[in-house]
Structure 1
Amino acid sequence: MSEETTLQTQEVSQDSKNLALLCWIGTIFFGFIPGLVLYLVKTDDEYVRQQAKESLNLSITVIIGYFISSLLFIIVIGMLTMFAVGIFNLVFCILGAIAASKAEDFKVPYILRLIK
């Protein structure tokens, strides 16, 4: 049985939902730190660990996007790409928080999956 079907068949506790929600909201303000802390600390809770891993992958992708945008800042397009990366981060963190509050499995599209 795959990991996704296992999570859907078992009930997710309210504490797990709250921690996953805090992870996504914390990612908006603190970047990769909430995802990394929860990924390393909550090894016993599979739902929180999965959402923290997804949040961490999003944060790494956003950091890479900001780095590339800062290199493109020499030409005017750097401002536009930095704005686009910021909006991308905000939108998908909010979507992740909404999904976490409903205990749904949320996968962010278009990101690098460096943490497996």
Structure 2
Amino acid sequence: MSVPPESVVPPAPPVAPPPPTDGPSAEEKQWAMFAHLSALCGFVIPLGSIIGPLVIWLIKKDTMPFVNDQGKEALNFNITVLIAAIVSWILIFVLIGVLLLIAVGIFWLVFVIIASIQASNGTAYRYPFALRLVK
């Protein structure tokens, strides 16, 4: 007995595998953004601009590679800004320190916001001026 060609059901097309995720996951992007934004704790807590990124980096560095990279970057930048602020504070006695301290503060705030936005988009951000102390 032969089966008429109309009743033959073609095989289902193969299911395509999910697209590869080359970039960081949404959770990694969020934690990386928090690593940068946690520097704003410095407005409330003394040395909070270093403690915030340090805590996030230490908690997430082993499980999330993107957060490991961005946490180190945020930590290095905030250490660099702290050094610049200390130097500016010392130079207050020479009267140029006040202007430098204001400039460092504005520079810090602007670049923390830029880095946070870039990290939330999944882009590994590099601050233009940062000592690479934590590797």
Fold similarity call, TM over 0.5: yes
Q: How far off its partner does 1:49 sit?
A: 0.8
Alignment of 1:54-65 (within 5 A): 54-65=73-84
Trace 1:15-30 onto structure 2 (pairs within 5 A): 15-29=27-41, 30=48
1:84 corresponding residue in structure 2:
103
**SS class of match (1:32):** helix
Figure out how many residues of one structure are paired with residues of the other and give that number: 108
Structure 1 stretches lacking a partner, 5+ long: 1-8
Q: Which residue type is aligned with residue 24 of structure 1?
A: H
Q: Secondary structure at the match of 2:86?
A: helix
| The one of 43, 47, 55 aligned to 1:37 | 55
Structure 2, unaligned stretches of length 5 or more?
1-20, 42-47
Identity of aligned residues (%): 38
The 1-side partners of 2:64 and 2:89 are apart by 37
CA contact (8 A) 1:28 1:89 kept: no
* CA distance in structure 2 between the aligned counterparts of 1:115 and 1:22, rounded to whole angstroms: 18
TM-score, with normalisation over the residues of structure 1?
0.87
Residue 44 of structure 1 and its aligned partner are, at CA, apart by 1.5
Structure with greater helix share of residues: 1
Aligned to 1:6: none
Q: Could you tell me how far apart the structure 1 residues matched to 2:58 and 2:120 are? A: 21
What TM-score do the two structures reach when normalised by structure 2?
A: 0.75
Q: Does 1:101 align with 2:120?
A: yes
